[in-house]
Structure 1
Amino acid sequence: MRRTPVVFIHGLWIHSSAWAPWIDHFRQAGYEPIAPGWPGDSATVAETRAHPELLAGQGIDDIADHYASIIDGLGSAPVLVGHSFGGLIAQKLLGLNLARSAVAIDPGQIKGVKPLPFAQLRSGFPILGRPGNRKRTVSLTAKQFRYGFGNAIPEAESNELFARFAIPGPGRPLFQSAAANFRSASPARVEVGNNDRGPLLFVSGGRDHTVPDVVTRAAYKLYAKSSATTELKQFPDRGHSLIFDHGWREVADFVRSWLEAKIPAN
């Protein structure tokens, strides 16, 4: 019997290699996992840092189309697991019925989400603070990474994760998400009313600065009128690094158990 494919989608400023432990974890559980990078990402962190120009100008639709093309080549509809902006992309593709289920972990802000906490503004300021960044790539400093990703873990671990996984990120998706509620045709729009889509799980970190819990909860509430399964899980003491810091397995175990209850591995 064919194994269920799982596509892991990373977020802004993090390389796809951060999903490596999840790939092993899900493969052992009987799934067929992959973690492709965004369009413009290189195979390694070092190569991506060396060629940031390849990511410049990539927007939400470019990223979504890239993953839709990957899904088209799988032969069967996958499960999508996305973190940060990857969670936005996962929702977008699920809403288009391109996946059998999706998990959105601390997902980027979709159209209709109104809370805008100070912590989120501060996390996005390295890009949003300069309008010219819309067409550029921007790299975080270790200090900025510590605030946006590693605030709930020891500083030494935050610095180590920054060195291992941080990459330049295109500014365009963040500008598109920030302006979503002012554009009727925003690329951050998701089909929240689709009754025929597969199950969707939201995961939030209670100490997340980049996508605070109130933002994830607001996205979850947008699906209230859909009859399709939509659920929410909060990890109260976790920050935005929850998928690749020392506590990743707790999150992965919950996600896997939830999927096994909704979508059998085979």
Structure 2
Amino acid sequence: MWIHSVSWQPWLQLFGDRGYHTLASDWPGDASTVAATRAHPRRHLDVGVDAVTDSYARVIESLPDAPIVVGHSFGGLIAQKLLDLGLAVGAVCISPAPIKGVRAVPLSLLRSSFPVLKSPTNKGKTVSLTERQFAYSFGNAISPEESAELYRDLTIPSPGRPLFEASSANFRRNSPTGVDTRRGDRGPLLLIAAGKDHTVPAVVVRGAHQLYVSGGARAELRTYEDRGHSAPFDHGWRELADDTLAWLDDHDLKP
């Protein structure tokens, strides 16, 4: 949410140079550029977790082989769902939005979600962050200047529905954010937490990891103590990308 897929371009270049076939598909309703997406915010009204998951499932169906999926924030939640559905051979999830069953609700998570959750009508609307809201939710671990630059270059309006679905997940029998954490037959999963993350604090990612460990499913956890929610696309992106490449190599997930 709130970040255009163009943010993945450095990763695509790096992984392509290492022999991987790469792509970064947009969410339903997003246009091909940041400017065009901002100009037509109503194109993704009422898009929820299932709609996003289904859109990526259709992309995967067009590929010759099941892919490795890498996602950030709500993209990390979607990546776990795709792995759970058997559509991916492995998944790397950076500061993933909480799956159903995670109980931790830190104050900073609530504050980061407030631009959407403050009004029930936002469930069917698109919402944009102000520069100040972005600085708190994404840019708190980087300089104000870099935060402002990322806000200007990458942010887009996003549907409010996914945040409502995540916030109510533990009160619903069937939630779009549900994942079967007891399956041991899926591919490897790496969960990455950022120690200074306001939007998805590390305790939330640890909660997801504990669900997998308790259920007997394969999952690893890594924490970058000095990083925030902008970690995969700020000046320090290369550290996460290089470590991801090494993890894939360790698990024989090679191009």
Normalised by the length of structure 2, the TM-score is 0.99
Structure-2 residue corresponding to 1:44: 33
Report sequence identity in percent: 53
Secondary structure of the residue aligned to 2:79 is helix
2:143 maps to 1:154: yes
2:11 maps to 1:19: no
Structure-2 residue corresponding to 1:144: 133
Structure-2 residue corresponding to 1:31: 20
Secondary structure of the residue aligned to 1:34 is coil
Normalised by the length of structure 1, the TM-score is 0.95
Q: 1: distance between equivalents of 2:12 and 2:32?
A: 16
Distance change in 2, residues 1:164/1:258 (3 Å) = same
Q: 2: distance between equivalents of 1:225 and 1:217?
A: 12
Structure-1 residue corresponding to 2:185: 196
Matches within 5 A, 1:26-105: 26-105=15-94
Structure-1 residue corresponding to 2:244: 255
Q: Structure 1 residue 264: deviation in Å?
A: 3.4
Count of aligned residue pairs for this structure pair: 255
Secondary structure of the residue aligned to 1:33 is coil
Structure-2 residue corresponding to 1:172: 161
Q: Structure 1 residue 226: deviation in Å?
A: 4.3
Per-residue displacement from partner, 1:186-223 (whole Å, max 9, x unpaired)? 00101111111000000010000000000000011100
Q: List runs of 5+ in structure 2 lacking aligned partners.
A: none
- Whether the 8 Å contact between 1:97 and 1:197 is mirrored in structure 2 is yes
Q: List runs of 5+ in structure 1 lacking aligned partners.
A: 1-11
Letter in 1 for 2:94: I
Q: Structure 1 residue 99: deviation in Å?
A: 0.3
Secondary structure of the residue aligned to 2:213 is coil
Q: 2: distance between equivalents of 1:112 and 1:136?
A: 26
- Whether the 8 Å contact between 1:77 and 1:99 is mirrored in structure 2 is yes
Per-residue displacement from partner, 1:2-40 (whole Å, max 9, x unpaired)? xxxxxxxxxx10000000000001011111110001010
Q: 2: distance between equivalents of 1:248 and 1:111?
A: 28
Runs of 4+ residues over 6 Å off in structure 1: none
- Whether the 8 Å contact between 1:58 and 1:172 is mirrored in structure 2 is yes
Q: Structure 1 residue 228: deviation in Å?
A: 4.1
Secondary structure of the residue aligned to 2:14 is helix
Give the stretch that moved more between structures: 161-170 or 228-237.
228-237
2:119 maps to 1:130: yes
Per-residue displacement from partner, 1:166-195 (whole Å, max 9, x unpaired)? 000100000000000000110010111111
Secondary structure of the residue aligned to 1:162 is helix
2:254 maps to 1:265: yes
Q: 1: distance between equivalents of 2:84 and 2:39?
A: 35
Q: 2: distance between equivalents of 1:111 and 1:259?
A: 26
Q: 1: distance between equivalents of 2:253 and 2:86?
A: 18
Secondary structure of the residue aligned to 1:176 is helix
- Whether the 8 Å contact between 2:181 and 2:216 is mirrored in structure 1 is no
Secondary structure of the residue aligned to 2:133 is helix
Per-residue displacement from partner, 1:52-73 (whole Å, max 9, x unpaired)? 0011100000000000000010
Q: 2: distance between equivalents of 1:226 and 1:76?
A: 28
